[in-house]
Structure 1
Amino acid sequence: MKILHVYRTCYPETKGGLEQAIRYICKGSTDNGYKNTILTLGDEDKEYEFEGTRIIVVKKQWEVSSNGFSLKLINKFRTLSQEHDVIHYQYPWPTGDLLSLFAAKKPTLVSYQSDIVKQKLLKLIYRPLELIFLSKVGRIVASSPQYAASSINLQQFSEKVDVIPLGIDESTYPEVTQEKLEEWRATVGEGFFLFVGVLRYYKGLQYLLEAAKISGLPVVIAGDGPEKGALKQYIQENNLANVKMVGFIDEDDKVALHRLSKAFVFPSHLRSEAFGISLVEAQLFSKPIISCDIGTGSSFVNMHDVTGITVEAANPHALSEAMCLLHKDKDLTDRLGSSARQRFEEYFTSKRYTDNYIKLYQSLV
């Protein structure tokens, strides 16, 4: 069976959580005899193979609100859609919705990652195309029961919604050396509260900084993004010596920081955060999680008083109290961390993730 994946980026072109998720679907299904092609946009036209997947990059001509496009994409997509058995889209990506109008008549599905939250004006303009796309696609995959139940779009098309939680492949994470651990221990210490991710507006990191100010507990923020300047300014203005921003890090550095940390903090406060693959990574490393209950997949991954603590969104005092609780109670921290690892093994392995998609592909064909 041949699967065509369509999204604005992919691994290894960029290395975010969704790119990894697409990678794991391709890698796992390739191991089961499937043929995968990814059609994406980039800085130049190129084609190559990665982990058995054919990757076709079309040069982006313009971009509006992170939505890139190229006229050459239409003809390339039309040809590829004729050659493949199933077309797998990702939402939100309005360009993908537009491309679907030019697709050959093949079985289709879309992985619904998040509602469009911030771009309200553009959403009004885009709404007719969105409805056509979601009406035509064969199946819609939500990443958690919570998101399937709370998204207006998913409620509207509930009769064709499946739930497949995201997963990660433990074997792709490097073994950290003692030298690397010591390097980071000398830089940031250990027993800190860790955040890893892109520094975006919906991550709620301003509330984490306020919580660090209230509690005085050590916090390490790893990642880069649009909010970096504002966060650094807050740290300087409030003399937060207990907060360290370490910038973008490689995979071995990430593993080292997880090993040295006490817990993972995930203060995302808006529905733009539909799941949070970094939560699953924390569970892989047996770390308890502090997250906010925003009615999305983050509360499916992190179960309150089972794998961590969930608190009210945009509430720095609640974040601070949860941090202080884990800081003072080692037995609780250990219990939650152990349960976190068990939940990872039960729900979020790449094998379970891939197997569920393979079953869905088979049912479509």
Structure 2
Amino acid sequence: MNRPRVLHVYKDYFPPVLGGIEKTINLLGQGTRDEFDISVLVCKGPEPAGESIVDGVHVIRVPEWGRFSSAPISPAFVTALRKHGAAADLLHLHHPNPTGDVAFLLTRPKAPAVMTYHSDIVRQKYSMLLFAPFQKRVMASCRYIMPTSPNYIESSPWLGQFRDKCSVVPLGIKLEDFDATPEVQGLIPGIRSRFPGPCVIFVGRLRYYKGLQFLLPAMRNLEATLLIVGTGPMEPSLKEQVTHLGLAERVHFLGNLPHSQLVAHLRASDCFVMPSHLRSEAFGLSQVEAMACGLPVVSTNIPTGVPFVNQDSVTGFTVAPESPQAMSDALGKLLGNGELRATMGTAARQRAETLFSASAMCAGVKAIYRQALKDR
């Protein structure tokens, strides 16, 4: 018996692109191909155009002319979706993806479609005025829409219009990838020797919505080290701010780390911080990675999935965004109380195991696939 064919539609894929959505699509491909034949349609990005099998998943990369507001300009995407959409039993759209949405409306595949709604389009407000009618038609065409948290349904003006289609499927990671392997354990003593004393860690792209400019003043009130893992366009201004605040000896920019080094730095730290202050931070998957390592989290109570992941006063603390004092107070509570850190760290690991594993995410998505195919 032939298995149902599912076609994921997005702009990029991991590998090589390291974004959260790209990694999620990769995990979904790996975690659902026991029951479904999985293909992924994306633009070529940094890779050559063409078709290949990547870890058992059929990946189709099409040419593009360039990008506008991060959206690929690709007439070939329309042609490819017409061809591969006709062969699919189910389409899985990933939002935001204006290129894919326009192609979907132009080709109108006969197969039913579902959508993972990763985030609103937040920053490109003027472009959104033009794109809004297309997005509404695509969402109306989907059988089911999968937001990644209940919080986002309440705060998104788009999801509120399609509440009857929504079924929450939280994002997940391979928890075992963050275990304390012998390699990781061997790296930890050197990290603690290099960065002695209480240690706070941030992991993520250094982008406008991450709120690091509010975290740095908070560090002035703490006798602690801050490790910043990641790179991005905000790095030069953040380094300048560190110098201006006189924090150069206690704030360290580590760049992008190999995975084993990332896990070791997380496990060598005392707590994790996510100071994001805008709705562009729709979920905060790096919180889950830290929780998988048994770290308590200090994050912000922005109206997205961020405080859904990190339960206030259970797995850590959630504080007001853009408030260095609130951030400092919460970090101080954790750094000054080892028993509290251990209790919240254990709760964080348990919450990650219960809600945010790759297997739980894939099980939720497979249930939606079955229902959408049954409804045909």
TM-score, normalization by structure 1: 0.96
Match in the other structure for 1:25: 28
Question: What is the alpha-carbon distance in structure 2 between the residues aligned to residue 191 and residue 9 of structure 1?
Answer: 38
Contact between 1:258 and 1:285, CA under 8 Å: does it hold in 2?
yes
Match in the other structure for 2:345: 337
Q: 1:125 aligns with which of 130, 135, 160?
A: 130
Match in the other structure for 1:67: 71
Task: Identify which range, 198-207 or 130-139, moves more after superposition.
Answer: 130-139
Match in the other structure for 1:108: 113
Q: Which ranges of structure 1 fall in alignment gaps of 5 or more residues?
A: none
Shift of 1:345: 1.1
Contact between 2:78 and 2:104, CA under 8 Å: does it hold in 1?
no
TM-score, normalization by structure 2: 0.94
Task: Identify which range, 176-185 or 267-276, moves more after superposition.
Answer: 176-185
Tell me which amino acid in the other structure corresponds to 1:36: I
Match in the other structure for 2:155: 150
Shift of 1:173: 4.4
Aligned pair 1:38/2:45, yes or no?
no
Aligned pair 1:136/2:141, yes or no?
yes
Contact between 2:77 and 2:100, CA under 8 Å: does it hold in 1?
no
What are the superposed Cα offsets for residues 197-255 of structure 1, whole Å, 9 maximum, x if unpaired?
11110010111111112324211000011111111111122220211110111111110
Question: What is the alpha-carbon distance in structure 1 between the residues aligned to residue 20 and residue 109 of structure 2?
Answer: 29
Shift of 1:190: 5.8
Question: What is the alpha-carbon distance in structure 2 between the residues aligned to residue 190 and residue 106 of structure 1?
Answer: 57
Q: How many residues are aligned here? A: 364
Question: What is the alpha-carbon distance in structure 1 between the residues aligned to residue 191 and residue 73 of structure 2?
Answer: 41
Shift of 1:13: 2.0
Match in the other structure for 2:292: 284
Task: Identify which range, 355-364 or 118-127, moves more after superposition.
Answer: 118-127
SS of 2:8's equivalent in the other structure is: strand
Shift of 1:177: 3.7
Shift of 1:178: 4.1
Pair 1:231–1:81, CA change in 2 (3 A): same
Contact between 1:77 and 1:103, CA under 8 Å: does it hold in 2?
no
Matches within 5 A, 1:299-314: 299-314=307-322
What's the Cα RMSD here? 1.4
Tell me which amino acid in the other structure corresponds to 2:40: I
Contact between 2:198 and 2:223, CA under 8 Å: does it hold in 1?
no
Question: What is the alpha-carbon distance in structure 1 between the residues aligned to residue 372 and residue 173 of structure 2?
Answer: 24
Q: 1:298 aligns with which of 306, 329, 338?
A: 306
Shift of 1:362: 0.5
Question: What is the alpha-carbon distance in structure 2 between the residues aligned to residue 177 and residue 156 of structure 1?
Answer: 46
Match in the other structure for 2:91: 87
Match in the other structure for 2:52: 48
SS of 1:356's equivalent in the other structure is: helix
Question: What is the alpha-carbon distance in structure 1 between the residues aligned to residue 21 and residue 94 of structure 2?
Answer: 9
Contact between 1:190 and 1:260, CA under 8 Å: does it hold in 2?
no
Task: Identify which range, 184-193 or 116-125, moves more after superposition.
Answer: 184-193
Question: What is the alpha-carbon distance in structure 1 between the residues aligned to residue 51 and residue 259 of structure 2?
Answer: 26
Identity of aligned residues (%): 35
Match in the other structure for 2:220: 213
Contact between 1:202 and 1:272, CA under 8 Å: does it hold in 2?
yes
Question: What is the alpha-carbon distance in structure 2 between the residues aligned to residue 49 and residue 187 of structure 1?
Answer: 42
Shift of 1:48: 1.6
Match in the other structure for 2:194: 187
Shift of 1:336: 0.4
Q: 1:270 aligns with which of 278, 292, 306?
A: 278
Task: Identify which range, 318-327 or 45-54, moves more after superposition.
Answer: 45-54
What are the superposed Cα offsets for residues 288-337 of structure 1, whole Å, 9 maximum, x if unpaired?
00000011111111001110000001101100011111111111111100
Aligned pair 1:200/2:207, yes or no?
yes
Which aligned runs of 4 or more in structure 1 are off by greater than 6 angstroms?
Answer: none
Pair 1:137–1:316, CA change in 2 (3 A): same
Question: What is the alpha-carbon distance in structure 1 between the residues aligned to residue 234 and residue 195 of structure 2?
Answer: 21
Contact between 1:290 and 1:322, CA under 8 Å: does it hold in 2?
yes
What are the superposed Cα offsets for residues 6-28 of structure 1, whole Å, 9 maximum, x if unpaired?
11111112122222211111111
Pair 1:37–1:221, CA change in 2 (3 A): same
SS of 1:203's equivalent in the other structure is: coil
Task: Identify which range, 171-180 or 269-278, moves more after superposition.
Answer: 171-180
Q: 1:160 aligns with which of 153, 165, 179?
A: 165
Question: What is the alpha-carbon distance in structure 2 between the residues aligned to residue 182 and residue 255 of structure 1?
Answer: 13
Aligned pair 1:223/2:225, yes or no?
no
Tell me which amino acid in the other structure corresponds to 1:95: T
Aligned pair 1:234/2:236, yes or no?
no
Pair 1:173–1:305, CA change in 2 (3 A): closer
Contact between 1:47 and 1:54, CA under 8 Å: does it hold in 2?
yes
Shift of 1:350: 0.9
SS of 1:40's equivalent in the other structure is: strand
Q: Which ranges of structure 2 fall in alignment gaps of 5 or more residues?
A: none
Question: What is the alpha-carbon distance in structure 2 between the residues aligned to residue 221 and residue 166 of structure 1?
Answer: 23
Match in the other structure for 2:174: 169
